[in-house]
Structure formats: structure tokens, C-alpha cells
Amino acid sequence: MKIRILMTGLLGLVATTTFAQKGELNNAQSEYDKYETSRGNKLTAAIAATSIVNAKTSIDKASLNEKTSVLPQTFALKGAIYSSLAVQDSVAATSAPLFATAEEAIKKAKELDTKGENKKLIDHANVNLAQYQLSKGVKDYQNKDYKNAYKSFDYYRTVLPEDTNAIYYTGLAAANANMYPEAITNYNKLLTTNYAGKERVYTDLSTIYLLNKDTVGALKTVSDGVAKYPSNADFRKREVEIYLQTGKQKEVIDKINAAIANDPKNKSLYYYAGLTYSQAAESAGKDVTKAKDAAGKAAAQKTKEENFAKSAEMYKKALEIDPNYFEANLNLGYVLINPAIDMYNAANKLPSNQQKAYDAAVAKASAQFDMAKPYLLKAVELNPKSYDALNNLKTYYLGKKDTVHAGEIQKQIDALK
């Protein structure tokens, strides 16, 4: 009977000791649960503040106890408590150590919690860690520390991979940090989601591809944007710009015509059409120089003149919509004066015994110069500090043998330096 009483006493002692060992852990859990139910409410904010402090005190004690310090629950709960404190703390010097402790605890909790009994705590702590990094990333971004902002946003995105804002922030920070491959990856990922700002993403992504010197990727992106948003004139203009960069003139003309049909009052589209034909004329001009026989030179010259004429037609249509469109005035003046220069140079190559032919050629060149004059003057009026506008006007005066006005324009050019 005595032995029996003794055994009962020993069992009671063991039970009491075990309870004492887990008491702090249980109290940490209880206080944390109280914090979770109280936070976010003004009426219970004080209770929440007290509970999270109590929870930290208890979990710190449980972490030092020989028996409870090795339990998965201890690490999971510590991660949840410390991560909650880190999110609340807006001072980097004190919040960073809290974050580091929470991150280390959660890592250990994942290793030990093989049965997934503490998954809820672990997941909650991870969300807290992600939220902390999001806030840090915003501060870094505002301070233009884009590389660290990228790291913080990428951490957030890793925890919440389907969060479209997380993907966008990560891509945006990467782009600003000149980390173009990382930016491209995230922006492409964003296009596979239901992100509300997809229309903007196509524009941004095409720009990033260009910055990464990948015109193929840029062109594909903006073409996809056109297909998805056919009424977006900006996409069509951008597609035209990229085609121009690649030198695909036929393709770009087809694209411009499609864009004009969709948006016939868009002055920029006519400007881009004029620019494309002008580039084609310049290309033909090079062919004139390269041609080895008279027939080849004549054919190339004809192509050049035809493209300059088409270019002038497009610029004039742009000016019908906006007479003060500087770029259209500037370029129209150029494409009209260019043939005049060819005519003038051709006249000066005539033999001295062909005075009649020379006079006729010079008169024709002079008339062509005069066709360009209104647009040359308008361009200078709209932007009197444009070197190109001033130089084109100077060329006009030289072609007209008006050295006085040419000299005056040269003084304006010199004043720009």
C-alpha cells in the first residue's frame, strides 16, 4: 500500500513538472491568440498591445527551457510572435533583429514540423515576414534604392506568388535597378494573371525589352498588345516605332495604314508614315551612289523621289490635323528641300555650253526650294532653338543664293553653342 502511495506521488510529481515546463509555451499561445482576436480594433487595441508583449515574454522563456525549446510549436509560435512585432515596429534598427529572429525560428519550425501540426502558425508568420519586406521595399523604392527594393519585393512575391501587386512591384523595382532580365520575367508573369493594369504592362514590357536591346521581344510584346487591345492607338504607334528601328519599312507601312484606318484623326500616325517613307527615300539615295550604271542610278533616283513625295503627302495630312505640329513642319520642310538640292547639284554639273538647260534646271530647283520655305519658317517659329530647323532654313537661303539671310541664320546657330 505504501508503495502504491509512493508511485502515485511520483506520477503526480512528473505530471506537475511537465505541466510547468509547458506552462510558458501554453501561456505564449494563449496570449498570442488573444492578440490576434484583439488587434485591428480600436476598442481592444490596448489588450492586443499587452498580449503580444506577454506572448513574447512567455515564448522567450519557453525557448530557454530544456524540454520546450526543441518543440516545433515553440519555433512556430516564436516566429509568429516575433514577426508580428517586426511588422508593428517602424524603426529599422529595432525591427530588423525581430525580423531576423522570426525568420530563423520559422526556418527551424519547418524542419521540425514534419506532421504539419503548426502549419497555420508558420503560414501566418510567413505572411508577416512578407508584409515586413513589402513595407521595407516601399521605403527603399521611395529612397531610390531600387536594388534593395527589388530584393524586398521579391521576398514578398516568393511568399505570395499569386499576388499580382507583388509581381508588379518586383518587376518595377528590377526595371528601375536596370535588372532587365528579372524585370522581363516578372512582367511576363504578370501578363498571365488577372492583373487589372495589363494594358500598361504591355507598354512597360516593350520598353524594358528595348532597354535590354531585344527588339524582337519588344515587337512581339507590343504586337500582342495591339491584338488584345485593337482600339489602343498608343500601342499601334509604339509598334510603328519599333518596326522603324528594325528597318522593316514594308511591314511598318502596313501597320501604319491599319492604325490610320482605326484612328484617322491621329496626327502622329501620319507623321510616322511620313518618317517611314522618308527613311525609304534615304535608303534609295544610298542606292543611287552604289549603282554601277546609269540605268541603276536612274531607277534608284526615281524610287528616292517617289518616296520623298509620299513622305511629304503624309506630313501634310498630319499638318491638316495640327498646323503647329513642330516635327511634321520640320520634316516636311526637309523632304521638300532635299529634291531641290538634288536639282541644284545636277544643274551645276551641266556643261558650260548648255546655259539654257542650266537656267531651266536652276529655275526648277528654285521653285522646289520655295515649296519648302513655309514649313522651314514655321519650324523655326515653333522652335527657334532647334539646330535642325535653323540648319534646314539656312540650306534654303543658300539654295536661293541669299547669303545675307543665310549669314543671319548662321549667327543664330552659333548662338546655340
Task: Supply the pTM of this predicted model.
Answer: 0.67
Q: Give tens-digit pLDDT for 281-310.
A: 888 888 878 888 888 888 988 888 899 999
Q: Name the pLDDT band for 177 (thresholds 50, 70, 90).
A: very high
Question: Is residue 48 over pLDDT 50?
Answer: yes
Encode pLDDT of 118-143 as tens digits.
999 999 999 999 999 999 999 999 99
Would you list the domain boundaries of the chain? 16-143, 197-264
Q: Distance (Å, rounded) from C-alpha 246 to C-alpha 259?
A: 18
Confidence of residue 238 (pLDDT cuts 50, 70, 90): confident
Q: Which set of grid coordinates corresponds to residue 291?
A: 549603282
CATH number of 197-264: 1.25.40.10
What is residue 195's three-state secondary structure? coil
Task: Give me the mean pLDDT over the 310-323 stretch.
Answer: 96
Q: Is the Cβ–Cβ distance between 51 and 38 less than 8 Å?
A: yes
Question: In the block, which residue shows the cell 524585370?
Answer: 183
Instruction: Check the CA dihedral 253-201-207-162 and report its sign.
Output: negative
Q: Write the CB contacts of 116 (distance below 8 Å, at least 6 apart in sequence).
A: none
Instruction: Tell me what the mean pLDDT of segment 65-69 comes to.
Output: 90
Does residue 142 sit in helix, strand or coil? helix
Section 21-41 average pLDDT: 85
Position with higher pLDDT, 165 vs 283: 165
Chain segment 191-230, per-residue pLDDT in tens: 999 999 999 999 999 999 999 999 999 999 998 998 898 8
